Amino acid sequence: MTPALLMATASLLFALMGVAVKLASTRYGAGELVMYRSLVGLVLIGVVMRLRRIPMRTPVPGMHMGRSVSGTVSLAMWFYAIGGLPLATATTLNYMSSVWIALFLMGGALLLGPRAGRGLDGRLIATVLAGFAGVTLVLRPTIADDQLWHGLIGLLSGILSAVAYLQITALGRVGEPGERVVFYFSLAGVVVGLAITLASGSLTPHTSWRGVALLLAIGTLATAAQWMITRAYATGATLGVATLQYLGIGFAFVFGVWLFNDPVTPLALVGMLLIVGAGVAATFLRQRSTPADAGPTES
């Protein structure tokens, strides 16, 4: 498969995972969904590491811990948001990570001045403003009063996803293999997901094959999609591949309207387009300033 086809397929698989999460969220809590998703991923990536003889021992355990915690909490927040929001809205808020990174770069330029390289880029400011304008348009027409909390959690998931992305970049710079990064992320997901579940109650008993099938689908789809993303970034042009990830918002929108009767409003559609445009622009500007930073952006 070509890098473009790999990324397009990965975006579709992540959207299908979102469908499975939304269906499963009527029975399982966000902590349980994270735990089971991570458990399936842990088994699969463990087999891959065994076959490729990649050791589990790492020289930078602290870096893995930081990335794993931020990524796992972001994932739990995203799953929680999917359970209470239109699918496309929750997906769009999580995909705001590129805009948040642009905001982080702006903050660095303001704090460091000339030492931050090119300083404060006007295009970066425009990108951030467009992204937040998009958020306003997406949230206002599609979120009811009882969904505001889910919307806030969705926004926070995007922020933590951006933090996790920056930590993935740092791990890549010190030579950590992607399989090991995913392994520790999955391990943390099992632990954190279980802790959230026990703190909020207890494990839900499995009384139907449908629920078990949804949990297996979530883990399998997410793991397969992440493998495709990793392959796409490794073999393709970074900017083109990164741009194609936003197909996931389109897929989520179609599935949401088709399967869950999610509302369709002109303002929400304009907001999604603004966020996608801001994300693509932020990725372009980031690649131009720091080409080595590009890479997979899963939480």
Q: What is the pLDDT of residue 297?
A: 46
Q: What are phi and psi of 60, to 5 degrees?
A: -130, 65
Cα–Cα distance, 36 to 34 (Å, whole number): 6
Cα–Cα distance, 59 to 78 (Å, whole number): 30
Q: What is the pLDDT of residue 294?
A: 42
- Whether 249 contacts 276, CB under 8 Å: yes
Reported pTM: 0.86
Residue 155: how many CB atoms within 10 A of its CB? 17
Sequence-distant (6+) residues with CB within 8 A of 14 are 221, 222, 225, 248, 251
- Whether 74 contacts 164, CB under 8 Å: yes
Q: What is the pLDDT of residue 141?
A: 56
Q: What is the pLDDT of residue 293?
A: 45
Q: What is the pLDDT of residue 142?
A: 58
The model's pLDDT over 249-267, given as tens digits with 9 standing for 90+, comes to 889 999 999 999 988 788 8
Tokens of 215: 């949990």
Place of tokens 């330029």: 109
Sequence-distant (6+) residues with CB within 8 A of 11 are 225, 244, 245, 246, 247, 248, 251
What would the DSSP string read from start to end of 20-34? HHHHHTTTS-HHHHH
Per-residue pLDDT of the chain (299 residues; tens, 9 = 90+): 788 888 889 999 999 999 999 999 999 999 999 999 999 999 999 999 999 999 999 999 999 999 999 999 999 999 999 998 899 889 988 888 878 877 877 776 666 655 554 555 677 778 888 888 888 787 765 566 667 788 889 999 999 988 888 888 888 888 888 889 989 999 999 999 999 999 988 889 988 899 999 999 999 999 898 888 877 766 666 566 777 888 888 899 999 999 999 887 888 888 888 888 888 887 777 666 554 444 444 55
Cα–Cα distance, 148 to 144 (Å, whole number): 7
Cα–Cα distance, 137 to 267 (Å, whole number): 6
Q: What is the pLDDT of residue 219?
A: 95
